[in-house]
Amino acid sequence: MPLKFAANISMLFQDIPSLVGRFRAAKDAGFKYVECTFPYAEGSEELGEACKEAGLQHVLINNWPGKMEKGELGLAALPDRVQDFRMQLELSIEYANCLDCKRMHIMAGRTSRYDHEEMENTYLDNLRFAADRLQKEGIMCLIEPLNSRITAPNYFLNNLHKGVEYIKKVNHPNLKLQFDVFHAQIISGDLTGNLKKYLPFIGHIQIAQVPDRGEPDLNGEVNYKYIFRLLEDIGYEGFIGLEYKPRTTTQEGLKWIKELGIEL
Protein backbone atom coordinates (compact mmCIF):
# COMPACT_ATOMS: atom_id res chain seq x y z
CA MET A 1 0.00 0.00 0.00
CA PRO A 2 1.49 3.41 -0.95
CA LEU A 3 2.46 5.78 1.84
CA LYS A 4 0.07 8.70 2.35
CA PHE A 5 1.74 12.11 2.72
CA ALA A 6 -0.07 15.11 4.19
CA ALA A 7 1.22 18.63 3.60
CA ASN A 8 1.38 20.62 6.82
CA ILE A 9 -0.07 23.92 5.65
CA SER A 10 1.00 25.73 8.82
CA MET A 11 4.65 25.25 7.84
CA LEU A 12 4.47 24.91 4.06
CA PHE A 13 3.31 27.49 1.49
CA GLN A 14 4.01 30.38 3.86
CA ASP A 15 4.24 32.80 0.93
CA ILE A 16 0.43 32.62 1.06
CA PRO A 17 -0.71 34.54 4.17
CA SER A 18 -3.79 32.50 5.13
CA LEU A 19 -4.49 28.83 5.71
CA VAL A 20 -7.57 29.27 3.55
CA GLY A 21 -5.36 30.07 0.57
CA ARG A 22 -2.89 27.29 1.27
CA PHE A 23 -5.42 24.51 0.65
CA ARG A 24 -5.45 25.33 -3.05
CA ALA A 25 -1.66 25.61 -3.10
CA ALA A 26 -1.37 22.14 -1.57
CA LYS A 27 -3.79 20.75 -4.14
CA ASP A 28 -1.91 22.40 -6.99
CA ALA A 29 1.34 20.86 -5.68
CA GLY A 30 -0.18 17.40 -6.03
CA PHE A 31 -1.24 16.65 -2.45
CA LYS A 32 -4.42 14.76 -1.55
CA TYR A 33 -4.04 15.18 2.22
CA VAL A 34 -3.23 18.11 4.51
CA GLU A 35 -2.75 18.80 8.21
CA CYS A 36 -2.12 21.93 10.24
CA THR A 37 -1.01 22.86 13.74
CA PHE A 38 -3.22 25.67 15.03
CA PRO A 39 -6.11 26.78 12.79
CA TYR A 40 -7.70 29.01 15.43
CA ALA A 41 -6.81 32.42 13.98
CA GLU A 42 -9.18 31.80 11.06
CA GLY A 43 -12.86 30.92 10.97
CA SER A 44 -13.73 27.23 11.26
CA GLU A 45 -16.47 27.29 8.63
CA GLU A 46 -14.31 29.26 6.17
CA LEU A 47 -11.47 26.77 6.59
CA GLY A 48 -13.83 23.84 6.14
CA GLU A 49 -15.23 25.28 2.93
CA ALA A 50 -11.76 25.99 1.53
CA CYS A 51 -10.62 22.45 2.26
CA LYS A 52 -13.74 20.98 0.68
CA GLU A 53 -13.45 23.19 -2.41
CA ALA A 54 -9.84 22.07 -2.89
CA GLY A 55 -10.94 18.45 -2.69
CA LEU A 56 -8.50 17.64 0.11
CA GLN A 57 -8.74 15.39 3.15
CA HIS A 58 -7.71 17.16 6.36
CA VAL A 59 -6.11 14.55 8.62
CA LEU A 60 -4.82 16.33 11.75
CA ILE A 61 -5.05 19.43 13.92
CA ASN A 62 -3.60 20.27 17.33
CA ASN A 63 -5.99 21.21 20.09
CA TRP A 64 -6.14 24.81 21.29
CA PRO A 65 -2.68 25.45 22.83
CA GLY A 66 -3.48 28.21 25.31
CA LYS A 67 -1.82 31.62 25.28
CA MET A 68 1.20 31.03 23.10
CA GLU A 69 2.15 34.70 23.31
CA LYS A 70 2.74 34.01 27.03
CA GLY A 71 4.73 30.87 26.38
CA GLU A 72 1.96 28.31 26.77
CA LEU A 73 2.14 25.20 24.61
CA GLY A 74 -0.87 23.18 25.62
CA LEU A 75 -2.89 22.84 28.81
CA ALA A 76 -3.52 19.11 29.34
CA ALA A 77 -0.91 18.67 32.11
CA LEU A 78 -1.45 22.01 33.88
CA PRO A 79 -3.19 21.47 37.24
CA ASP A 80 -4.71 24.96 37.42
CA ARG A 81 -6.04 24.96 33.83
CA VAL A 82 -8.26 21.87 33.79
CA GLN A 83 -11.45 23.86 33.26
CA ASP A 84 -9.84 25.85 30.43
CA PHE A 85 -8.55 22.66 28.81
CA ARG A 86 -11.93 20.95 28.82
CA MET A 87 -13.84 24.04 27.74
CA GLN A 88 -11.47 24.81 24.86
CA LEU A 89 -11.51 21.18 23.76
CA GLU A 90 -15.04 21.94 22.53
CA LEU A 91 -13.62 24.73 20.34
CA SER A 92 -11.05 22.32 18.93
CA ILE A 93 -13.81 19.80 18.21
CA GLU A 94 -15.74 22.49 16.34
CA TYR A 95 -12.75 23.11 14.08
CA ALA A 96 -12.10 19.41 13.58
CA ASN A 97 -15.71 18.80 12.60
CA CYS A 98 -15.80 21.72 10.17
CA LEU A 99 -12.66 20.32 8.54
CA ASP A 100 -13.98 16.74 8.74
CA CYS A 101 -10.68 16.02 10.51
CA LYS A 102 -10.45 12.70 12.36
CA ARG A 103 -7.25 13.16 14.40
CA MET A 104 -6.35 15.64 17.14
CA HIS A 105 -3.03 16.08 18.94
CA ILE A 106 -3.61 16.95 22.60
CA MET A 107 -0.76 19.18 23.78
CA ALA A 108 0.58 18.70 27.30
CA GLY A 109 2.11 22.08 28.21
CA ARG A 110 5.28 23.26 29.90
CA THR A 111 6.61 22.25 33.33
CA SER A 112 8.23 25.43 34.63
CA ARG A 113 6.08 26.12 37.72
CA TYR A 114 4.35 22.87 38.62
CA ASP A 115 5.05 19.75 40.68
CA HIS A 116 5.77 16.81 38.38
CA GLU A 117 3.52 14.29 40.14
CA GLU A 118 0.64 16.75 40.17
CA MET A 119 1.14 17.43 36.47
CA GLU A 120 1.27 13.74 35.68
CA ASN A 121 -1.99 13.04 37.50
CA THR A 122 -3.66 15.98 35.77
CA TYR A 123 -2.36 14.86 32.41
CA LEU A 124 -3.64 11.31 32.78
CA ASP A 125 -7.07 12.53 33.93
CA ASN A 126 -7.33 14.95 31.02
CA LEU A 127 -6.21 12.30 28.53
CA ARG A 128 -8.94 9.96 29.78
CA PHE A 129 -11.44 12.77 29.39
CA ALA A 130 -10.21 13.81 25.93
CA ALA A 131 -9.94 10.27 24.55
CA ASP A 132 -13.52 9.58 25.62
CA ARG A 133 -14.90 12.93 24.45
CA LEU A 134 -13.18 12.73 21.06
CA GLN A 135 -14.28 9.13 20.58
CA LYS A 136 -17.89 10.37 20.70
CA GLU A 137 -17.05 12.63 17.75
CA GLY A 138 -15.18 9.94 15.80
CA ILE A 139 -11.86 11.76 16.31
CA MET A 140 -8.66 9.92 17.27
CA CYS A 141 -6.91 11.36 20.34
CA LEU A 142 -3.13 11.63 19.95
CA ILE A 143 -0.20 12.57 22.16
CA GLU A 144 3.21 13.56 20.81
CA PRO A 145 6.52 13.60 22.70
CA LEU A 146 8.42 16.79 21.78
CA ASN A 147 12.14 17.26 22.23
CA SER A 148 12.92 19.78 24.96
CA ARG A 149 16.54 20.29 23.92
CA ILE A 150 15.93 22.24 20.70
CA THR A 151 12.26 22.79 19.99
CA ALA A 152 10.16 22.93 23.18
CA PRO A 153 12.11 23.67 26.38
CA ASN A 154 10.37 22.47 29.55
CA TYR A 155 7.71 20.57 27.61
CA PHE A 156 6.06 18.02 29.91
CA LEU A 157 5.93 15.10 27.46
CA ASN A 158 9.53 15.03 26.27
CA ASN A 159 10.21 11.27 26.33
CA LEU A 160 9.02 8.85 23.67
CA HIS A 161 8.95 5.83 25.98
CA LYS A 162 7.08 7.78 28.65
CA GLY A 163 4.46 8.69 26.08
CA VAL A 164 3.77 5.03 25.38
CA GLU A 165 3.74 4.35 29.12
CA TYR A 166 1.01 6.98 29.54
CA ILE A 167 -1.01 5.43 26.70
CA LYS A 168 -0.80 2.08 28.47
CA LYS A 169 -1.83 3.64 31.80
CA VAL A 170 -4.84 5.42 30.34
CA ASN A 171 -5.75 2.21 28.51
CA HIS A 172 -8.33 3.80 26.22
CA PRO A 173 -8.86 2.47 22.68
CA ASN A 174 -9.05 6.02 21.33
CA LEU A 175 -5.64 7.19 22.60
CA LYS A 176 -2.68 6.76 20.24
CA LEU A 177 0.89 7.97 19.74
CA GLN A 178 1.87 10.67 17.28
CA PHE A 179 5.38 9.60 16.29
CA ASP A 180 7.35 12.57 14.97
CA VAL A 181 10.58 11.25 13.47
CA PHE A 182 12.32 14.61 13.95
CA HIS A 183 11.57 14.70 17.67
CA ALA A 184 12.13 10.96 18.17
CA GLN A 185 15.61 11.12 16.63
CA ILE A 186 16.63 13.98 18.91
CA ILE A 187 15.05 12.43 22.02
CA SER A 188 16.28 8.86 21.80
CA GLY A 189 17.36 7.80 18.29
CA ASP A 190 16.95 4.09 17.45
CA LEU A 191 14.28 4.96 14.88
CA THR A 192 14.12 1.46 13.43
CA GLY A 193 13.69 -0.21 16.79
CA ASN A 194 11.19 2.33 18.09
CA LEU A 195 9.03 2.33 14.95
CA LYS A 196 8.86 -1.46 14.98
CA LYS A 197 8.27 -1.68 18.73
CA TYR A 198 5.64 1.03 18.94
CA LEU A 199 3.81 0.47 15.66
CA PRO A 200 0.70 -0.90 17.45
CA PHE A 201 0.43 2.37 19.40
CA ILE A 202 1.06 4.77 16.49
CA GLY A 203 -1.90 6.72 15.09
CA HIS A 204 0.01 9.33 13.06
CA ILE A 205 3.57 10.03 11.91
CA GLN A 206 5.29 13.32 11.12
CA ILE A 207 8.65 13.89 9.48
CA ALA A 208 11.40 16.48 9.02
CA GLN A 209 15.16 16.29 8.62
CA VAL A 210 17.48 16.54 11.63
CA PRO A 211 18.89 18.84 12.89
CA ASP A 212 17.51 21.74 10.82
CA ARG A 213 13.89 20.52 10.57
CA GLY A 214 14.14 20.97 6.82
CA GLU A 215 12.87 18.81 3.98
CA PRO A 216 12.85 15.03 4.63
CA ASP A 217 15.58 14.42 2.08
CA LEU A 218 19.01 12.82 2.53
CA ASN A 219 20.68 16.03 3.70
CA GLY A 220 20.87 15.33 7.43
CA GLU A 221 20.96 12.69 10.15
CA VAL A 222 17.92 10.71 8.97
CA ASN A 223 17.98 8.52 5.86
CA TYR A 224 14.40 9.03 4.74
CA LYS A 225 14.70 6.69 1.81
CA TYR A 226 15.33 3.95 4.37
CA ILE A 227 12.59 5.22 6.72
CA PHE A 228 9.95 5.16 3.97
CA ARG A 229 10.93 1.64 2.98
CA LEU A 230 10.82 0.59 6.62
CA LEU A 231 7.30 2.02 7.07
CA GLU A 232 6.14 0.07 4.03
CA ASP A 233 7.84 -3.10 5.26
CA ILE A 234 6.27 -2.96 8.73
CA GLY A 235 2.84 -2.23 7.26
CA TYR A 236 2.18 1.31 8.46
CA GLU A 237 -1.17 2.35 6.96
CA GLY A 238 -1.68 5.80 8.49
CA PHE A 239 -0.77 9.27 7.27
CA ILE A 240 2.66 10.91 7.26
CA GLY A 241 2.58 14.63 7.99
CA LEU A 242 5.18 16.83 6.33
CA GLU A 243 5.82 19.09 9.30
CA TYR A 244 9.05 20.66 8.12
CA LYS A 245 10.45 24.15 7.51
CA PRO A 246 11.39 24.62 3.83
CA ARG A 247 15.01 25.69 3.50
CA THR A 248 14.11 28.05 0.64
CA THR A 249 10.64 28.07 -0.88
CA THR A 250 8.10 25.30 -0.48
CA GLN A 251 7.98 24.64 -4.22
CA GLU A 252 11.77 24.47 -4.57
CA GLY A 253 11.98 22.18 -1.57
CA LEU A 254 9.43 19.71 -2.93
CA LYS A 255 12.09 18.29 -5.24
CA TRP A 256 12.80 15.73 -2.47
CA ILE A 257 9.61 13.96 -3.54
CA LYS A 258 10.96 13.18 -7.01
CA GLU A 259 14.49 12.54 -5.77
CA LEU A 260 13.29 9.85 -3.34
CA GLY A 261 10.84 8.34 -5.82
CA ILE A 262 7.74 9.25 -3.82
CA GLU A 263 4.24 9.19 -5.25
CA LEU A 264 1.74 11.57 -3.70
The residues, any chain, with a CB within 8 Å of residue 253's CB and separated by 6 or more, are 214, 215, 246, 247
CA 31 – CA 142 distance, rounded (Å): 23
259 is catalytic: no
35 is catalytic: no
Please provide residue 62's backbone torsions phi and psi, each rounded to the nearest 5 degrees.
Answer: -90, 150
The active-site residue, picked from 144, 215, 232, 237, is 144
The active-site residue, picked from 137, 165, 215, 243, is 243
Long-range contacts, 250-258 (Cβ 8 Å, 24+) = 250/12, 250/13, 250/14, 250/15, 250/25, 250/29, 251/29, 253/214, 253/215, 254/29, 254/215, 256/215, 256/216, 256/217, 256/224, 257/30
For 34, 47, 243, the CA distances from 12, given in Å and listed in that order, are 10, 16, 8
Residue of 80, 185, 189, 92 whose CA lies nearest to 141: 92
3-state helix, strand, coil in the chain (%, to 5): 45, 15, 40
Q: Which of the residues are catalytic?
A: 144, 243
